[in-house]
């Protein structure tokens, strides 16, 4: 993946919520006009991540005809026939994907005593009230609904 590209250009979000991507960044990411992009939020770095969106096009030749979905990628039949020559390339793509996922995944936080105590209380309340919603559990425990939600997601 590219290193952080800093252009020194400041962009303003317009009234419709749009941001114009600087030309230098579009060139570096090979984002031509009418290219579909996918956006992700990185809460840890307070950043928006932009990826080129690949629809049902072949991973290798970008053909949209006769593609087959294989391990999160689309591959056309002609490329599948020449697959032995592409296995090395696939291995590299998979390694890069795994490395990218590892970089973008949030680091596992150490459980603080406050979080552990809250989790214990939450589990106890869930056992005593198995039909309770998150809102009801929050009320029972005296927590905010957001805190209950975070505890449940990050057990």
Quick check: pTM over 0.85? no
3-state secondary structure 89-134: HHHHHHHHHHHHHHHHCCCCCCCCHHHHHHHHHHHHHHHHCCCCCH
Q: Does domain 1-53 have CATH number 3.30.300.130?
A: no
Tell me: the pLDDT tens digits for 3-31? 565 657 888 999 999 988 888 888 887 78
Query: What are the boundaries of each domain within the chain?
Result: 1-53, 57-107, 113-153
Q: What is the pLDDT of residue 30?
A: 78
Look at phi and psi of residue 87 and say left if phi exceeds 0, alpha if psi is from -120 to 50, else beta: alpha
Q: What's the Rg (C-alpha) of the chain?
A: 23
Specify the pLDDT at position 102. Answer: 79
Residue (of 20, 2, 3, 24) closest to 11 by Cα position: 20
What six digits make up the tokens of 23?
Answer: 């030309």
121 or 82, higher pLDDT: 121
Condensed to tens digits (0 to 9), the pLDDT of residues 91-133 reads 777 888 888 887 777 666 667 888 888 888 988 988 998 888 8
């Amino acid at each position: 993946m590219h290193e952080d590209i800093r252009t020194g250009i400041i962009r303003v979000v317009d009234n419709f919520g749009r941001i114009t991507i600087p030309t230098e960044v579009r060139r570096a990411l090979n984002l031509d006009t009418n290219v579909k992009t996918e956006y992700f939020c990185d809460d840890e770095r307070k950043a928006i991540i932009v990826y080129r969106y690949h629809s049902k096009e072949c991973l290798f030749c970008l053909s949209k005809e006769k593609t087959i979905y294989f391990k999160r990628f689309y591959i056309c039949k002609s490329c599948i026939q020449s697959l032995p020559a592409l296995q090395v390339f696939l291995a590299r793509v998979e390694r890069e994907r795994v490395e990218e996922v590892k970089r973008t995944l949030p680091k596992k936080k150490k459980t603080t005593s406050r979080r552990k105590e809250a989790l214990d209380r939450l589990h106890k309340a869930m056992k005593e009230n198995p039909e309770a919603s998150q809102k009801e559990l929050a009320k029972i425990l005296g927590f905010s609904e957001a805190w209950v939600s975070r505890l449940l997601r990050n057990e």
